[in-house]
A = this chain, B = another copy of it.
Amino acid sequence: MSIILYELAGRDDFRFSPFAWRSKMALHHKGLDFESRSVKFSDRGPIEQSGQERMPVLLDGDTWVPDSWAIAEYLDATWPDRAPLFDNDAARAHARFINSWADIVLNAGVFGLIVHDILDHVDPDDVDFFRTTREARIGKPLTDTLVGREERVEKFRTSLQPLRLTLKAQKYLGGATVSYADYIIFGSLQWARCSSPFQVLAKDDAIATWFSTMLELFDGLGRKAPGYEV
């Protein structure tokens, strides 16, 4: 039985999706072997059979599992004897709040700071698609997002205060040990690290300290991925 993770990828095998990072960390956490296959925005042929437009999509044997949250639940349900991503029902229920916060607050904040720089890394075939869809989303040219970043990043960092207070009080979102909630947040910051030289976190931020720890997990999986120094 083979596991394949289909994820967005750019030029030079650059892997930028925050959601795919959640799933990759989750697969490593479960100790599962898997093959990661790259898909371009402009050619979603590889995932056509899944019936999905969006990635990541997991293919386990002949079972397609779309959506990073559903993938995490699937992994725990299918391999209950391996290290849990969610310690129990209450932890999973709480992690859903963290997932929602990351999707809405954290990802939107990161997006506004780094979206222009992603252009340098998407596949040449995807540049027009990426620029057109993202400019439609923000209603202005991507170059405009470079203006005032130094001021906007302060507001972004302030928006992370709930995360900061949590990580000042405990080593991981999961407490003493790492859990899926950590991978949720990690994905967003890894997206920034892989895409842009712009520093979304201050060096002395407790979140940056935690992120450095996260980069070393699984033999430095995150640190080895092509990206910028943080």
Contact = CB atoms under 8 A, between A and B. Distances in A.
Contacts of A93: 166, 170, 172-176, 179, 181
Contacts of A79: none
A186 to B, nearest CB: 14
Contacts of A96: 165-166, 169-170
Contact of A100 (B92, B104, B105, B165): B165
- What does DSSP make chain A's interface, helix, strand, loop or mixed? helix
Interface stretch (A18-26, A82-90, A127-135): A82-90
Interface of A: 86-98, 100-101, 103-105, 161-163, 165-166, 169-170, 172-177, 179, 181
The 5 closest A-B pairs by CB, nearest first: A93-B175, A94-B94, A87-B90, A100-B162, A90-B91
Given A97-B97, A97-B162, 18 more contacts: A87-B89, A87-B90, A87-B91, A88-B88, A88-B90, A90-B174, A90-B175, A93-B166, A93-B175, A93-B176, A93-B179, A94-B94, A94-B95, A94-B174, A94-B181, A96-B170, A97-B101, A100-B162
